[in-house]
Amino acid sequence: MLRRHVTIARGWTCALALLIASGCSHDHRTVVLVYSPHGKELLQDFATRFMRIHPGIDLQWDDMGSTEVLDRVRAERDNPQADVWFGAPAELFQRAARDGLLESYTPTWADAVPPEAHDSAGFWYGTYLTPEVIGYNSDAVPAAEAPRDWDDVLEPRWKGKLILRDPVASGGMRAIFGAILERSVATTGTTAAGWNWLRRLDANTKEYTLNPTILYQSLARREGLITLFDMPGLAIPRQRDHIPVSYVFPESGTPLLVDGIAIVKGTQHPDSARAFYEFVTSQPILLVAARAHLRIPARIDIDEDSLPGWIRAARQELKPMPMDRTMLADSLDGWMTYWDSHIRHRG
C-alpha cells in the first residue's frame, strides 16, 4: 500500500512538473503584438472586436508615444517583438521605411487613398487624418478671447499659461514645430524666423508634460489655459471625461497629418498581422473610429452621409497647411534635437 501511495505521489509530481514547464496554460492562440499611440480606449475596443472574429489570435498592444514606437522598433531591429505599428505621422513611417524597419504590404483598399496618403512602395498606408489645433480651457477662456491663429499664442497675455505635450515624444507636436519651421523656409528661405518663433513659444510655456493625461489634468485644473495639440486628443477627454476643453482651427492653416499603419519587418506572424491591418482599416471599423473615437478616416470611398456631422463640419472649416513630407523626414529629427538642446526652458 505504501508503495502504491508513493507511485501515485510520483505521478502527481510529474504531472505538476509538466504543468509548470508548459506555463500551466492551455491557450494556444497566436499572440500578435501591436505598438500604437492611439490610447487604451481605442486599442482595447479594437482588440476586443478583432478577437471576436479571430478567436485564434490573442491581440496584445503597447500604448506609447509615436516617436517612442519608432525608437522601440529601431532598437528591436535584430529581434522584432511587435507585428504591427498602428499610428504615427507619415514622416515617422517614412523614416522607418528608409531604415528598413517595415514590410511592404498593399492592402485590399489601396486605391481608396490618394497618393500622398501612402508610401509609393507600400511600406505604410494612411488610416486617419489628424488636424493639429489650438486648445483652451473653455470655462476659463471665453471663445471670443481664445487664440485664433498660431502667432496669437505668442502674445504676452498667455505667458505662463501655455501647457504643451513634450514635443520630443509627441508626433503631433513635432509636426506643429516642423510646420512652423517649414513656413519659415517657405517665406524667408531660412529657418531663422521659425527658431525665433519657437523661442517666443518657449517663453510663454509653463510646462512640457510627459503624456497627454497630465496635459488634460493641467488644463482642467487651470494650471495652464491654452495648448497646441491634435484635435482628437482634445475632443476625446471633453467627450469622455467632461474636461472643459475646446479648440479652434488656426486661421492661417492647420497641419493635417496622415496617420498611418505598417507591418514591422521580421514579424513572426505575417498572416495575422495582415488580418489586423485589414480589420482596423475596413470601412465598418473606420466608422467605429469616427463615431466612437473621433478619428477622421483617410479613405475617400466612405459615404459622406455615414460620417458624423463634426467630421463633415471639420472638413469644411479647416484649411490644410502646406507640408513638405520629404523635408520633414529629412530634417525634423535634427530640428527637434536642436530645439531640445538650445531652446527648451531657455525662454
pLDDT interval class at 323 (50, 70, 90)? confident
Question: How much of the chain exceeds pLDDT 70, in percent?
Answer: 93
**In the predicted model, what is the mean pLDDT of residues 32-44?**
95
pLDDT of the residue at 253: 94
Which of 346, 347, 343 has the alpha carbon at shortest distance from 181? 343
pTM: 0.82
Pick from 17-26, 188-197, 240-249, 289-298: least confident: 17-26
pLDDT single digits (tens) 79-112? 999 999 999 999 899 999 999 999 999 999 999 9
**Residue 106, pLDDT score:** 97
* Contact (CB, 8 A) for 30 and 57: yes
User: Residue 12 and residue 65: Cα distance in Å, rounded?
Assistant: 48
User: Looking at residue 232, what is its pLDDT?
Assistant: 87
Beta bridge partners of 130: 257
Contacting residues for 315 by C-beta, under 8 A, at least 6 apart: 296
Say which range, 8-22, 61-75, 100-114, 158-172, has the weakest mean pLDDT: 8-22
What the block records as the C-alpha cell of 238 is 471633453
With vertex at residue 193, the alpha carbon angle to CA 188 and CA 196, rounded to the nearest 5 degrees, is: 175
pLDDT at 54 over 90: yes
pLDDT at 193: 97
CA torsion angle for 94, 98, 103, 106 (degrees, to 10)? 50
pLDDT of 266 higher than 50: yes
pLDDT of residue 14: 43
In order of start, what are the domains of the chain with their CATH numbers? Answer: 30-129+258-312 (3.40.190.10), 130-255+322-342 (3.40.190.10)
For residue 322, the model assigns a pLDDT of 84
Count of C-beta atoms within a 10 Å radius of residue 204: 19
Tell me the three cell numbers of residue 246. Answer: 475646446
The answer, yes or no, to whether residue 20 has pLDDT greater than 80, is no
CA–CA separation, 326 vs 262, rounded Å?
Answer: 18
pLDDT confidence of residue 293: 93
Q: What is the DSSP letter of 245?
A: E
Whether 7 has a pLDDT exceeding 80, the answer reads: no
User: Tens digit of pLDDT for each residue in 154-183?
Assistant: 999 999 999 999 998 888 899 999 999 999
pLDDT of residue 288: 97
Q: Looking at per-residue confidence, does 287 or 236 come out higher?
A: 287
Give the pLDDT score at 152: 98
Over residues 41-64, the mean pLDDT reads: 96
- Does residue 4 have a pLDDT over 50? no
Question: What integer pLDDT is reported at residue 187 of this predicted model?
Answer: 94
pLDDT category at 299 given cuts 50, 70, 90 is very high
